[in-house]
Amino acid sequence: MKTSGLGLNFRHLYYFWVVAKEGSITRAAERLDVAVQTISAQLSLLEQSVGKSLLAPQGRRLVLTEAGRIALSYADQIFLLSEQMMDTLAISDTEHSMRLTVGISDSVPKLITSHLLEAALALPQRVRLVCYEYQLDNLLADLALHKLDVVLTDRPVPSGTNMRVFSHLLGESEIALFGLPALAERYAPGFPASLNGAPLLLPTRNNAIRGRIEHWLEMNSIRVDVVGEFDDNALLNTFGRNGLGLFPADSALAKDVHDQFGAVTVGALSSVKEQFYAISNERKIKHPAVEAILGAIHGKAFPLSRQAA
């Protein structure tokens, strides 16, 4: 690695990065198969270059100073991008493959996720899809570090965030209650008044749709028996498939819900809609596969016209 025009030697930075990850010069030397003295000299040169101490001894370990923590955060980005570049360049020219790294909020239903990504996978160019599912806060942090190309979620970026990320509304879909045929036969007649006392499976309160469902129940003076609350949507659907109670899902996916879970529509929750967003680093999307998601969302599942926030 050569010294950059700004005076930063990336070999020095790489040695620092490995030492910070390993917690000691000895373990870093073993990992890199170089002498301890070599690493010590490289670290000293890096600290001279930046004019600050990056590591400090604490017992038998080395710990990061405040400057070291800042340097490590940048080093993480630099070497992650380096790995991604090498992965991309390693792909054979004959494959013409495009990598799309997607973060998916754990509150987004799996069926919806597959619909959202169909547009990207339908591109003429082969798309190599890499998906990570996690909580939104963690995904936004990875997006800000350019570890992800886009995040799919059910809510816009929280107001007041200091991250330069932008929400793009994909659309919305009406929510309905579903249940196995025996439950549907019992609770569909006289809907929604028939729901009084009905067993209901709901997402936990950190899911955006939970509050809207509770508001709808309150507006219709309905008291249900909440028999289960689930942080994971897939687990909620599994219990619904086992007949534990009625469960909410997007009405546009009625056929998918029937095919996968054997459940049928009990009734639509009028005015209760679930929204879906793509969150990116830029106001104007530049990744072709993400552009395809924004430009070709299936009208049946997402009837609302798109807009950017």
pLDDT in tens, 124-144: 888 888 898 888 888 888 888
Is the pLDDT at 1 greater than 50? The verdict is: no
The pLDDT of residue 137 is: 84
Residue 285: pLDDT band (50, 70, 90) is low
Entry pTM: 0.62
Closest by Cα among 169, 221, 225 to 199: 225
Kindly state the average pLDDT of the residues 143-167.
83
Whether the pLDDT of residue 296 is over 70: the answer is no
285 vs 76, more confident:
76
- Using CA atoms, how far residue 60 sits from 14, 23, 44, 56, in Å, is 22, 9, 19, 11
Structure token pair of residue 87: 């992965």
DSSP classification of residue 252: G
Supply 251's token pair. 């009405």
Domains of the chain: 10-89 (1.10.10.10), 96-171+276-308 (3.40.190.10), 173-274 (3.40.190.10)
User: What percentage of the chain carries pLDDT values higher than 90?
Assistant: 29
Residue-level pLDDT at 141: 83
Within 10 angstroms of residue 183's Cβ, the number of other Cβ atoms is 22
> Which whole number is the average pLDDT over 279-290?
78
What is the pLDDT, as a whole number, of residue 112?
83
Give the per-residue pLDDT at 21. 83
pLDDT of residue 232: 83
Read off the tokens for 102: 């997607």
